[in-house]
Amino acid sequence: MLHSNDNFAIPVALASFLLAVSCTPNAERSPAEQELSPVEVRLEKPTALGEAGVNYFSVSGKLESDRTANMSSRVMGNVARVFVREGNKVKQGDLLVQIHSDDLTAQRDRLDASMAEARAAQANAKLFHDRFQALLVQGSASPSEYDQVKLQLDLANARLDQVQHSRRELTVMIAESQVRSPFDGAVTRVYAEVGNLATPGMPLVVVESTDELVLRVEVPESEISNIDRKQSVLIQLQHSKDTVRGTVDQINPSSGLSGSQYDVEILPDRKAPIVHTWKAGMFANAQIRKVRCDTSLASSLERIVVPRSALVERGQLTGIYTVSDAGRAVLRWVRTGKEYAGQVEVLSGLNVSESFVKEADSRLFNGAAVTVK
């Protein structure tokens, strides 16, 4: 029995040993992978932060529409109909909200009747004027009689002008009871409800333009002198890491209302296709190159940066491939810091004199044979 148990224990122990070896972190390549042809790689040395990063600073902000309109009515009345809902696309001139205007319509009808009456009176006064003018030329009417008739014509003309002016004002008021979109865009807020009283200036609907977004950021007073209008910056979305170029469009010269923070507007490049998928309200970071930098400070810093594309993410760990003296890929774990325009600061695990793998022509794994281009 003992002899039988010993024979059984040997294979089990051997299998356990092989399983343990295969599960160790350093055994990341299979025998098949070891026999693959060498992977061609391109090496690069880290860049000193004084050369690549200290000249940049980063700020965060939110994407907003470049045009926002809080639509309201200039006349008082109850809301008759609401034609849109939040999220609806609208064109310029589309009807958004209708205010009850029955009283205005009634006033218009009365003015129409008054206008017909005034026109009739004016036509009659004009007829008498022409007759007396002819009689005056013939000597059959006195100048005083003609002056009296001319006065009646002038009064009839003035009355007609007054009614027409009131009619135009009322037409404008009726048009104001129809709240329409001022430009193409999307409805982002609807405050109006049928039956509610709308007063002049009270917001009913908010329309935002979807043609162009602007990134609004706040730049601290320590950096505001390092930025200029029309300057190119790098914009990166926080949730997806999408990156595009942008241009500084506006710089608020005063920080009186923002506590030593200066409002800056950055326009993303509309030619980039990814920008058309961005929405107002998304948060983004802006990497801004300093237009005025202390080079003595830059040269004194010994920190380094590497391209983000060279880093490898494994769960919570970040690594970078280097090449050993034996021509093998070595995945080295590093600790990273801030990101500067696509360059990531390496705090530990790599020094400025060591080369790393910037690009590889095929899949790279720990221990793979490599050849340097």
DSSP, collapsed to helix, strand or coil, labels residue 261 as: strand
Q: Distance between CA 366 and CA 35 in Å, rounded?
A: 13
Q: What is the mean pLDDT of residues 16-39?
A: 50
One domain for residues 305 and 267? no
66: number of Cβ within 10 Å? 15
Overall domain count for the chain: 3
The angle subtended at Cα 192 by Cα 189 and Cα 196, nearest 5°, is: 160
Same domain, 257 and 220: yes
Band (173; pLDDT cuts 50, 70, 90): confident
Q: How far apart, in whole angstroms, are the C-alpha atoms of residue 270 and residue 215?
A: 13
Distance of CA 190 to the CA centre of its chain: 21
Q: Cα(210)–Cα(278) distance, rounded to whole angstroms?
A: 10
Same domain, 313 and 266: no
Residue 54 has what pLDDT?
54
CATH for 340 = 2.40.420.20
Contacts of 371 (CB under 8 A, 6+ apart): 38, 39, 40, 41, 327
The CATH number given to whatever domain includes residue 229 is 2.40.30.170
Backbone φ and ψ for 349, nearest 5 degrees, come out as 100, -10
Where among 183, 207, 231 does a domain terminate? 207
pLDDT tops 60 at residue 24: no
Domain identity same for 92 and 196: yes
212 — pLDDT class (breaks 50, 70, 90): confident
Whether 33 has a pLDDT exceeding 70, the answer reads no
> Torsion-angle region of residue 151: left (phi > 0), alpha (psi -120 to 50) or beta?
alpha
Q: Please tell me whether residues 79 and 139 are part of one structural domain.
A: yes
280 with 253, same domain? yes
Same-domain pairing of 189 and 314? no
The DSSP symbol for 369 reads: B
State residue 332's pLDDT score. Answer: 93
For range 253-274, the mean pLDDT: 84
Q: What is the pTM of this model?
A: 0.52
Residues 124 and 199 in one domain: yes
**Residue 288 corresponds to which tokens in the numbers above?**
């801004």
For the cut 90, the answer to whether the pLDDT of residue 13 exceeds it is no
Query: Which of 292, 316, 348 is the last residue before a domain boundary?
Result: 292
Q: Is 200 helix (H, G, I), strand (E, B) or coil?
A: coil
Token pair for residue 278? Answer: 């961005």
Q: Are 167 and 115 in contact (CB under 8 A)?
A: yes
- 144-176 in b/e form (b: 16+ CB < 10 A) is eebeebbebbeebeebbeebeebeeebeeebeb
| CATH number, domain containing residue 166 | 2.40.50.100
With a cut of 80, say whether residue 23 has pLDDT above it. no
Q: From CA 209, how far away is CA 64, in angstroms rounded?
A: 10
- 165 and 193 share one domain: yes
Is residue 354's pLDDT more than 60? Answer: yes
Domain presence at residue 345: yes
Q: Can you tell me which residue has the tokens 């009456």?
A: 117
Residue type, 64: E
Q: Are 77 and 187 in the same domain?
A: yes
**Average model confidence (pLDDT) across the chain:** 82
CA atoms within 13 A on the CB side of 215: 30
Q: Are residues 284 and 312 in the same domain?
A: no
Mean pLDDT of 307-335: 92
Check whether residue 85 and residue 50 sit in a common domain: no
Residue 51 has pLDDT above 90, yes or no: no
Tens of pLDDT, residue by residue over 101-138, are: 778 788 888 888 999 999 999 999 999 889 888 888 88
Which residues contact residue 369 at a Cβ distance below 8 angstroms, ignoring those fewer than 6 apart?
34, 36, 37, 38, 39, 327, 328, 329
Of the residues 171, 186, 207, the one at which a domain ends? 207
List helix spans (H) across the chain: 2-22, 31-34, 49-52, 102-138, 143-176, 295-300
pLDDT value at 15 more than 50: no
Domain with 198 in it: 73-207
